[in-house]
Amino acid sequence: MLYKILKLGVFLTLAFFLGCEANSSNGTNNWKKDAPFYHGEYVDFESFKEGRLCSEVRFTCLTESQDKLVVDTPLENGLDSFELTAEVMEKYHAIIKRWRDEEDGLVKDESMKAAELSEAFFDKVEEKKFLKEMEAQLEKEFPGFWKDTPKQVRYRWIQRAMNKAKVFGHTSKQPGSMVELCARIGLDFDKDPKWEAITEYVHKDPKNHISRAINYIDWTVFEKTHARTGTRITDWLMRGVHPALPYPKKPYPRLND
């Protein structure tokens, strides 16, 4: 019996080492993705610059700034010729008032609901307002982001960033966080291997994880000390980000430091 047990032990040991040798002979890094401690490539500023047209955070540094789908394609939803004139805004506010009156039971004429004032029109105003707000936000956050980029090209790029949010399951009609993320790492970040960890992290919970991914990139790549909201980046603010994303080389300050 003892002899059989020893024989079995030797056999299992040999099988183990042969298996290890076979895996190592493949010459791949697949083991990294299988290991629980591996969470993607760490991206610092030097690796961030790879594949970009320039190192600054501005529109012309993004590869899609040369994409004809961004430069030459008309805006979606007929927004090319749609301007927020005084007349347009007056109708917009009339729709809002009508909806509020209906909610409060102040509308007695049931034959004319607010839908007749055009919900589609309301949505066009909301989207055009959002495009303008994001245009201004990016210029404020990264002075010179747009430079002399034509307005329609700016808005078309923002619309594509909005569409990218839908790909990740983000259902908001105004996904400002995705626009912010794409401004930093491009519309096609999910096709770039160095952003694999960010892509997987955002996929899991786009509503909450996009903003956290932005804070992470601002800390690790741009060495910012504060989030875009003005909040100081601390270990408390970044709780829950790790180990999904690679740990930063520079530790976060503690909340009470």
Does residue 67 sit within a domain?
A: yes
CA distances from 125 to 92, 99, 147, 216 (A): 7, 16, 25, 33
Given this model, what pLDDT does residue 115 score? Answer: 53
pLDDT at 54: 96
Structure tokens at 118: 């055009």
pLDDT by residue for the chain (257 residues), tens only, comes to 544 444 445 444 444 444 443 333 333 334 234 333 334 679 999 999 999 999 999 999 999 999 988 889 999 999 999 999 999 999 999 888 888 887 777 776 655 555 555 788 999 999 999 999 999 999 999 999 999 999 999 999 999 999 999 999 998 999 999 999 999 999 999 999 999 999 999 999 999 999 999 999 999 999 999 999 899 999 999 998 998 999 999 999 998 87
For residue 13, the model assigns a pLDDT of 47
Query: What is the extent of the structural domain holding 208?
Result: 41-220
Q: Is residue 171 part of a domain?
A: yes
Q: What is d(CA 134, CA 10) in angstroms, rounded to the nearest whole number?
A: 66
Q: Is 2 domain-assigned?
A: no
249 in a domain, yes or no?
no
Query: What is the token pair recorded at 224?
Result: 């910012």
Alpha-helical segments (H) within the chain: 2-24, 30-34, 45-49, 68-71, 86-103, 119-141, 151-167, 176-185, 196-204, 206-220
Please, are residues 135 and 182 in contact by the beta-carbon 8 Å criterion? no
Q: Cα–Cα distance between 230 and 141 in angstroms, integer?
A: 11
Residues with Cβ within 8 Å of 145's Cβ and at least 6 positions away in sequence, in order, are 57, 58, 59, 138, 139, 183
Q: Residue 240 domain-assigned?
A: no
Task: Supply the pLDDT for residue 211.
Answer: 96
The verdict on residue 48 lying in a domain is yes
Structure tokens at 167: 């790909």
How far from each other are the two terminal CA atoms of the chain, in whole angstroms?
64
pLDDT, position 109:
65
Q: Could you say which DSSP state residue 117 is in? A: G
Which residues are within 8 A (CB) of 161 and not within 5 positions of it... i.e. 6 or more apart? 175, 178, 179, 182, 183, 187
Per-residue model confidence (pLDDT) at position 67: 92
In a domain, 12, yes or no: no
Alpha carbon of residue 50 to chain centroid: 19
What is the sign of the dihedral through the CA atoms of 196, 197, 198 and 202?
A: positive
Q: Taking a C-beta distance cutoff of 8 angstroms, is the pair 238, 216 a contact?
A: yes
Domain count, the chain: 1
Please give the Cα distance from 253 to 145 (Å, whole number): 29
Phi-psi region of 158 (alpha: psi -120 to 50; beta: other; left: phi over 0): alpha
User: What was the pLDDT predicted at 40?
Assistant: 63
How many whole angstroms from its chain centre is CA 67? 20
Q: Is residue 114 part of a domain?
A: yes
For 232, phi then psi, to 5°, come to -70, 135
